[in-house]
Amino acid sequence: MRALRKLFSFNGGVKPAPHKAASIAEPIAIAPLPERLMVPLWQSTGAAALPLVQAGDRVLKGQRIGAADGGLSVAVHAPSSGTVLEIGPQPMAHPSGLLAPAIVLATDGEERWTELEPVNVGGTPPDALRDILRDAGIVGLGGAVFPSHQKLRPGAHGTRTLIINGAECEPFITCDDMLMRERAAGVLRGAMLMKHILQAREILIGIEDNKPEALAAMRAAAGSEAEVVAVPTRYPAGGAKQLIRVLTGIEVPHGRRSTDYGVQCFNVGTAFAIHQALDHGQPLISRLVTVAGNVARPRNYEVLIGTAMREVVALAGPRPDTNRYIMGGPMMGLPMPGFDVPVVKATNAILAGSPTLFPPAPPEQPCIRCGDCARACPADLQPLELYWFSRARNFGKAQEYHLFDCIECGCCAYVCPAHIPLVDYYRYAKSEVWAREREKEAADAARQRFEFRNFRQEREDSEKAAKLAARNAAAAAAARAAADSPAPSATAAEPAEPAAEGQKKALIAAALARAQAQQAAAPPRNTDDLSAETQAEIAAIEARRQEPATTANIAGGDATGTSATPTAMPAAADKKKALIAAALARAQAQQAAAPPRNTDKLSAETQAEIAAIEARRQQAARLPPEPAPEPPREPPLEPPK
């Protein structure tokens, strides 16, 4: 006969009324298949799963419809066969009422399973078994929904003791009690599988002593494979740290984990889900839910994940004055924002509330510093100090008093004579600290991106400068090489220079001759209808056009090869003057023969302006023409050196 294990105690705790007898009077029932299932993609403490299906896809029962995204995420599966209606934000099972991504299925009633593959546990490495559990969507079913494949990693010093938590200390909740009564063999098989993965030495199953039927069933199933221990009934004996303290005497301090001391703790529902996933290949698509509170027939139901809470409570017959639903128990439960939120993996109970069953809390009164909260705290904290610092938004001091060691059990608020909702203040402080941490992480990430951008720009600038310096060095080297190379001899180019110069002069002379021939063959311009000034300008232009030929003859000789004489210049000037005089004479004759302008219809000012213009034209006609400018003389050629 096995010796009795020595039990230890933890500080604080309370003993509220259990209210458990009504929901264990009948065995577990299977909830009917609903017409519509809303499966949230976020059902664990990690990131939401990534959808693997689209609207309109046909799915089978147990088919994976969401893949794990990260180490703390798990997969999501179709609870029944049907069609995907939509994928989008839906109300969460949370007091905030916020929306979260979910997959909405329309069930077809056929309940056709996908192909299930049991696992050969003995021939599969522990790492592969953990991956299988992640893809099966296994999480902690005690309420924390922490991914089980992460908790099944042994600590640095290995795992000595595996604890299976069957305490279930909160009032009204009996799903674990009924699971151990009716499915004790499956729970024990799951515990043995976890012992194999963790390589643990012993298994301890802790059950409160107010569950005699569960104790008997588990002891019968365990035999010599595990030790079933009855622990005193006191809330919150079902907390992980409190149960470890009671069974082993190990008190896990602040900032440490139970795995550092070779101990790991799992819920009985998690053990049964691991048995189904490895031995039958069945993913986590349903769970036991206690329906109690303001209902006619409290009972435990096996409910598909994604079923609306309204449909589950309807099975137990809610009373007319039901005004709210609470997910969980009265101590740590969360009020739901509506009746249509879905059942998720964290839903261990649904309590129908009413003003009679759960009357409104009395008004909050000032704290009288009685210290009852500190005496009742099972985590050995100072709830009074945490309350003041949280209320004053001094979150740094609240963290110094180990704010995050609070398990939110509600013992402090239960015994507070001032009716202060202490747990609400602690949750608010935790959410603010988490929000600030996220903002800090985002700011650090932005700063790192900015610094990396500056580093990249500096690196690109230095690379460009190095390339430019290399090109300049190559150009300088090429210039030095060209300067050091011997120049071609001048004697080789001298014979070709006179020939090129003579050819150039011949081309210039031929072009001048063609221009003179074209000018001589052109018909005379009709200048009779032009004014005297315009005709004089035309004559001057004609004279200037003839000057290049004369200059060319003076500089280099005419086409016949005879030299030009100085007497050619006065002859050209006299000819130009004669042409200008003849043009002026023709203009004056045309002006005299023109009929006088009819200025009678013009004003006096206009007639005066016309007379002044005519006078200026006559005066310009009487002036002698300006002598044509002499052509520029070329400087004398220098004698050869």
Instruction: Lowest mean pLDDT of 54-58, 94-98, 553-557, name the range.
Output: 553-557
Across the chain, mean pLDDT equals 85
Answer whether residue 450 is part of any domain: yes
Is 52 in a helix, a strand, or coil?
A: coil
543 shares a domain with 431: no
The β-bridge partners of 202 are 161
Distance from the first to the final alpha carbon of the chain:
137
Helix (H) or strand (E) holding 66, with range, is strand 64-67
CATH number of the domain to which 345 belongs: 3.40.50.11540
Q: Flag whether pLDDT at 76 surpasses 50.
A: yes
Cβ neighbors of 222 (< 8 A, separation 6 or more) are 188, 203, 205, 228
343 shares a domain with 374: no
216 shares a domain with 285: yes
279 shares a domain with 205: yes
Answer whether residue 424 is part of any domain: yes
302 shares a domain with 369: no
Residue 168 — φ and ψ, nearest 5°?
45, 70
pLDDT digits (tens, 9 = 90+) for 518-566: 766 665 555 455 666 677 777 777 767 666 544 444 444 444 444 444 4
* Tokens (6 digits) for 607: 């007639």
The residue among 433, 458, 483 that closes a domain is: 458
CA distance 460 to 447: 20
Domain count, the chain: 3
Closest Cα to residue 342, out of 31, 39, 84?
Answer: 39
Q: pLDDT-based confidence at 6, cuts 50/70/90?
A: confident
**Strands 263-267 and 161-166, how do they pair?**
parallel
Q: Are 297 and 317 spatial neighbours (Cβ–Cβ below 8 Å)?
A: yes
Answer whether residue 534 is part of any domain: yes
Answer whether residue 206 is part of any domain: yes
pLDDT at 552: 43
Q: pLDDT-based confidence at 592, cuts 50/70/90?
A: low
446 shares a domain with 314: no
More confident residue, 474 or 218: 218
- Please give the radius of gyration of the chain, using alpha carbons only, rounded to the nearest integer: 54
Answer whether residue 76 is part of any domain: no
413 shares a domain with 269: no
Is 482 in a helix, a strand, or coil?
A: helix
424 shares a domain with 308: no
442 shares a domain with 296: no
* Torsion sign across C-alpha atoms 333, 336, 423, 412: negative
The boundaries of the domain holding residue 535 are 529-552+569-588
Mean pLDDT confidence for 10-33: 93
Closest Cα to residue 272, out of 153, 368, 351, 189?
Answer: 189
Instruction: Lowest mean pLDDT of 193-202, 368-377, 588-597, name the range.
Output: 588-597
pLDDT at 480: 84
Answer whether residue 382 is part of any domain: yes
Residue 266: CA atoms inside 13 Å, Cβ hemisphere, count? 29
224 shares a domain with 146: yes
Answer whether residue 422 is part of any domain: yes
The residue among 458, 473, 495 that closes a domain is: 458
The β-bridge partners of 50 are 67
The residue among 353, 382, 414 that closes a domain is: 353
Q: pTM surpassing 0.85? A: no
Mean pLDDT confidence for 597-609: 60
Alpha carbon of 182 to those of 215, 217, 224, 378: distances in Å? 12, 8, 20, 32
367 shares a domain with 261: no
431 shares a domain with 289: no
Answer whether residue 508 is part of any domain: no
Instruction: Lowest mean pLDDT of 139-143, 212-216, 489-493, name the range.
Output: 489-493
Percentage of residues of the chain with pLDDT beyond 90: 63
